Structure 1
Amino acid sequence: MRTTNGVVEIEYETVGDNSDPALLLVCGLSSQLIAYRRDFCQLLADAGFYVVRYDNRDVGLSSKTAAKPPSLVATRDALNKGLDSPASYGLSDMALDGMAVLDALGIVRSHIWGMSMGGMIVQTMAINHWDRVLSITSVMSTTGASDVGRATPEASAALMAVPPLEREAHIAADLAARHTYASADIDWDEMASYAGAQYDRMFHPVGAVHQLAAVIADGDRTDRLKSVDVPCTVLHGGIDTLIDVSGGHATAEAIDGAKLVVYDTMGHDLPATLWPSYVDEMVELADRAS
C-alpha cells in the first residue's frame, strides 16, 4: 500500500486487527520496512496492536530524492555555524511522512516505536505531533547531543563504508559491518537472509546519505525533548558500539518519566531472543498510556 506526503510517496504495510490500538514502527538509517520482521510484527499483533510498518523516504519502495546528496561535512558545518542546511530534508519532514501513513489509515493517535534513526524520528513526532502520539519507544537511539551516543571508530568506519554493488559482495560486506556492532546472540544465518532480502527488494545506497544528512542537520534535541509529555520507554543495548548506551541514558533523562531498559547482550540490532521482552515492554507502556 502507498500514500503521499506532498510529492513524497510512502510505502507501508499493516499486520493485525485495525480495531486494536495502532503501533507505528519507524525504521533506522537505510533500513526498509522488512527490518521489522513479519514474525516480530505478528507477536505485537497477537499482543493486541494494529501494527503499521513503512519505508522511510529514500529507501525501499518509497520515493527517492532526485537531488544529489549534500556533503556531510558541509551539513555539519552549516549546523555549527547556524547556516541554512544543505540537506534535502530534515527529520521533521520524515516525521510528517509517518503522520501521512497514519492519515491514510484513518488513525488519529498511535503508539510509536522507532529504532536508531527511527528513534530520532519518533522523538521528533512526540515533539512536533504530540497530539497524534499515545506513547513512544525510542530504541538504540540518542538525543543528537555530540557528547553521548557516539560510535566507536570501528563501527563508524563500518557505517560509512561504500557498499559493493554486486549482490553477494554486498551481503558479505553488510555482515562484516554488522560484526562490529551486533548483539551477542544474533542469528547470522537469518541476518544473511535479511541482507539479501533488502538488496533484492530495493538497492539504493545513496538514499542513506540523504538520511544521514537529515540526522546531522537536526542537531541536539535535548531541550526539545524536555517538552515531551507522553509515556515513553527507552530500550538500548549495553554492547551497542554504533550508538553508545549513553545515548539511551541521555534520552531517558531528557524525557520526564521515561523508563530506561538496558539489555546487557544487545548490540545495534533486534535479536529474536529479545522479541518477547520488547513486546512485554510495549504492552506495559500501553498500559501506562491508557
Structure 2
Amino acid sequence: MKIRANSIDIEVEDSGPGAAGQVRPVILLIMGLGMQLVAWPPALVQGLVDAGYRVIRHDNRDVGLSHHFDALGKPHLLWQGLKYKLGLMPRAPYSVADMAADSLGVLDALGIEKAHVLGVSMGGMIAQRMALAAPGRVLSLSSVMSTSGAKGLAQARPEVIRVLLSRPKGRDPQTVLNHYVRLFKAIGSPGFPTPEHELRERILLGVQRGYYPVGTLRQMLAIMADQTRAAQLRRITLPTLVLHGKADPLLPFVHGEDTARRISGARLVGIEGMGHDLPPGVVAHLLAALLPHLKAAETSRMTLSPT
C-alpha cells in the first residue's frame, strides 16, 4: 500500500496489528542500498510474525514503488567518489538522515508511537540515524551487516568493488538479471550458499517489480556524504544488537566490531560463514539472536516504566 510519509509517497507492507484487542509490538525493517521491501526473506518476516510482532517493511525513497527523485538528475558518481577519496564532502541530493525521517514518517502515517528498528547494510545506517534523531520512538536498535561509517576501516575486496560499481550492459531483463546474479554471488555467504535458481528467482522479482538504478546511485552518494554519524553513535543508549558476518566481503567484520564499540552496551554477534546477504541459514542465526534481544528490550522498558 502507498502512504504519505515525510511529504513523499512510500510503499509499505504491514503484517497488521493482529486480532481485535490484541496489541502486537512493532518492528520496522529497513532494507539496504538499492534493495526493495520484497528482498526481506519470507522466513524472517514469518519468524517475527510467529513470535508475536507486527512487521512493517517499506521501499526506501528512490527504489521500488516509493517516490523516485527524477528531478534531481543522475549523479556523477566517479567525480563524487574522487572527492570522497580526497577527504572532501561529496554533494549528495539527499541524506541518510532524510531517509531516517522517511522511516519515522512511515510510523507516523500508521499511527505507531514506538517500534523496534532493524536495518541491514544501508538500512542499518538509516536505523542508526533514527535512533539518534528520535530515541524516544525506538524501542531497540538492530544494526545488521552495516557500519558506523568511520574512516580507516577495512574496505571491500577489490573484485567486489569492481562488481559493485559496474553496470549492466543492457536494460533487457535477462542482462540485468545476470548482472545482479554476479553481484550477489560476489558478496554472498560462503558458509550458506544460495542455489542459483533460488537466487535468480529472488532477483528477478525485484527487477520486474521496480528496476531503477539511478536511484541507487543517489542513495550511494547519501552514504558517502554521511560522515558525522560515527562520532555521534556514542549518544545512543538504546538496547542495541550489532550482527555481522565474519566472512563479509563488502563490509568486513571490523565494521560490526567498530559499530558495537561506539554504542554503549551494544551486543555484538558474529556469524561464521556469513557474507553480505540473508540466505536461509543466516536467517536462522539472525532470529536466534534477534528474538531474545527484542524481548529483553521490552522487559527492560516495562521494568523502567513508572507503575
TM-score by length of 1: 0.94
The match for 2:268 is: 260
Q: Distance in 2 between matches of 1:177 and 1:38?
A: 21
SS in 2 for 1:199: helix
The match for 1:28 is: 32
Q: Kindly indicate whether the alpha-carbon contact (under 8 Å) linking 1:142 and 1:148 is maintained by their aligned counterparts in 2.
A: no
The match for 1:172 is: 178
Alpha-carbon distance, 1:165 to partner: 1.0
Which residues of 2 match residues 88-103 of structure 1 at below 5 A? 88-103=93-108
Gaps of 5+ in 1: none
Q: Kindly indicate whether the alpha-carbon contact (under 8 Å) linking 1:76 and 1:217 is maintained by their aligned counterparts in 2.
A: no
- For 2:44, the aligned partner's letter is F
Which residues of 2 match residues 206-221 of structure 1 at below 5 A? 206-221=214-229
The match for 1:11 is: 11
Q: Distance in 2 between matches of 1:196 and 1:206?
A: 18
The match for 1:274 is: 282
The match for 2:231 is: 223
The match for 2:244 is: 236
The match for 1:139 is: 144
- For 2:119, the aligned partner's letter is G
Q: Kindly indicate whether the alpha-carbon contact (under 8 Å) linking 1:183 and 1:240 is maintained by their aligned counterparts in 2.
A: yes
Q: Distance in 1 between matches of 2:289 and 2:231?
A: 26
Alpha-carbon distance, 1:276 to partner: 2.5
Which residues of 2 match residues 32-181 of structure 1 at below 5 A? 32-66=36-70, 67-72=72-77, 73-74=79-80, 77=83, 80-81=87-88, 86-163=91-168, 164-181=170-187
Over 6 Å off, 4+ runs: none
Gaps of 5+ in 2: 299-307
- For 2:67, the aligned partner's letter is S
Q: Distance in 2 between matches of 1:153 and 1:80?
A: 20
The match for 2:302 is: none
Alpha-carbon distance, 1:275 to partner: 1.7
SS in 1 for 2:118: strand
Counterpart selection for 1:195 from 193, 203, 215: 203
Alpha-carbon distance, 1:277 to partner: 2.4
- For 1:38, the aligned partner's letter is P
TM-score by length of 2: 0.89
Q: Distance in 2 between matches of 1:49 and 1:277?
A: 18
Q: Kindly indicate whether the alpha-carbon contact (under 8 Å) linking 1:69 and 1:88 is maintained by their aligned counterparts in 2.
A: no
Q: Kindly indicate whether the alpha-carbon contact (under 8 Å) linking 2:43 and 2:280 is maintained by their aligned counterparts in 1.
A: no
Q: Kindly indicate whether the alpha-carbon contact (under 8 Å) linking 1:58 and 1:211 is maintained by their aligned counterparts in 2.
A: yes
